[in-house]
Structure 1
């Protein structure tokens, strides 16, 4: 039975598209029950419509507080009874109440090799810090921003000619590989969160996560 998931987005939804594509190709046994965006003009909603996936725009600007928005978002998500909530470029800082409600069943993807460069503008920050490499991390969501248990990472060298845009393109390509893989692990009940640590097949993943290589499946 396919694993029911809900995907949250704020923008173009390229990671959403990667999940849709792998699902259609039979590589990922999930059912995307709904796509929800806090921005009505997010292109990811068009991707959902094209794939005949129920989709909703729920603007945070229509709520008096962060708590009120998160409560409404939680109620909308729970209508679909997902086993997993996937944050795919959802640009909102979530309240502790919300993150605790989905503890162990909400994933995020962050464009850095966590714990380095939490927050925004990660590509330029990696270049400014003269890092040799940059990358992306998939992690369980916790109440602290970009601080949940890391599941999987992928890296790319930073070339002398790279700027923030070119580095972002490299990282996006990695995102579209490792995010569906982490979702696949969860859907197969191989990936769990236990006592604040990510476990794959019963083995604790290191705090720095597992580096992606072609042999992973």
Structure 2
């Protein structure tokens, strides 16, 4: 099986972490297709929930050279041909014609269909939905469709919100690579239905989300104390 990574031309932590895990697990026939990042966040979140993607990581080209992986820069993702399956580490809007003709795996930091779209972890906490990660094949619906794996993560009394966010991120990378071993298993189809496709969380709701998180964590701590743990 020939696996490929879709990512950006800039240094990118998720891509680096995914490549390291692929190499650790013994995958050798890997190709990376990098395209320019055309989208930039207009507003930085008030509450951080992702690691700094460009901080102290080598370029993807350097990493591929070290691991003996293929590396190509493309202007359009439709030039990324020849692989059996593609893992999304970083990409803009992928043309539907490419989605329809390729097996493309996405790792979404939310337990779909309860948390779809942007800032899935934050919306899940604010709305009391399950926290988790989903790997799925890209299809006609955003963050829905043919699911490879859904994994719910329990809240931990000793974790800060940022620590939880980093656990979600690590699970995301692990499940993305792990999806290669589950491609041919029976898969669940999870339609979007009437679930909400979230946009970026407004700043005023971020602080409300943190308050909801503290309420949930405080309840876990009280339960721990009452049970003598």
State how many pairs are aligned: 169
* Higher strand proportion: 1
**Partner residue, 2:84:** 83
Aligned-residue CA RMSD in angstroms?
Answer: 2.9
Matched, 1:94 2:90: no
Measure, in 2, the Cα distance between the counterparts of 1:47 and 1:142.
27
**Higher RCO (C-alpha 8 Å, min separation 6):** 2
Q: Is residue 141 of structure 2 the alignment partner of residue 144 of structure 1?
A: yes
- Seen in structure 2, the aligned counterparts of structure 1 residues 149 and 16 have a Cα distance that, compared at 3 Å, is same
Residue of structure 1 in register with 2:122 after alignment: 124
Deviation at 1:96, TM superposition (A): 2.2
Q: Give the greater-gyration-radius structure (CA).
A: 2
Correspondence 1:35-184 to 2 at 5 A = 35-39=33-37, 43=54, 46-52=59-65, 53=69, 54-56=71-73, 58=75, 72-75=76-79, 77-78=80-81, 81-90=82-91, 92-102=92-102, 105-131=103-129, 133-159=130-156, 162-163=160-161, 165-184=162-181
Map Cα deviations across residues 27-50 of structure 1 (whole Å, 9 max, x no partner): 243422223133289747713423
Q: TM-score, normalised by structure 2?
A: 0.62
Would the alpha carbon gap of residues 114 and 28 (structure 1) be closer, same or farther in structure 2, given more than 3 Å must change? farther
TM-score, L = length of structure 1? 0.65
How has the CA–CA distance of structure 1 residues 51 and 88 changed in structure 2, closer, same or farther, with 3 Å as cutoff?
Answer: same
Measured against aligned partners, the alpha-carbon deviations of 1:36-73 in whole angstroms (never above 9, x if no partner) come to 13328974771342331414263xxxxxxxxxxxxx32
Structure 2 distance, partners of 1:35, 1:142, is: 20
Q: For residue 146 of structure 1, give the secondary structure of its aligned residue in structure 2.
A: coil
Task: Call closer, same or farther: CA 1:140–1:155 in 2, change over 3 Å.
Answer: same
CA distance 1:50–1:29, change in 2 (3 Å): closer
